[in-house]
Amino acid sequence: VDELQRQNQSGLYKQGTTAKVGQMTAAKYSMEGELTSIVKQNNSTKDVYYKFTLKLFDVQEGTIEWQDEKEIRKTSKR
């Protein structure tokens, strides 16, 4: 509701194209994500592992429509 008021009262948006209170459709999807990291360090090398996890939920059906993970490793030497 705060976002709708901002859109309709700020003058930044073309009137007639902004959503109106009471005329919004409920969201069909919701996305959830997580970012974790692990740091390993020895005498001269530092390894950082990042893991991104994303899930896309169908809110109306209560199902997971898509999910994926991506791991990235960054290494630096001193």
Is residue 19 domain-resident?
no
Domains: count for the chain: 1
Tens-digit pLDDT profile for residues 16-41: 777 777 777 778 899 999 999 999 99
pTM higher than 0.85, yes or no? no
Range of the domain at 53: 25-78
SS3 5: helix
CATH number at residue 43: 3.40.50.10610
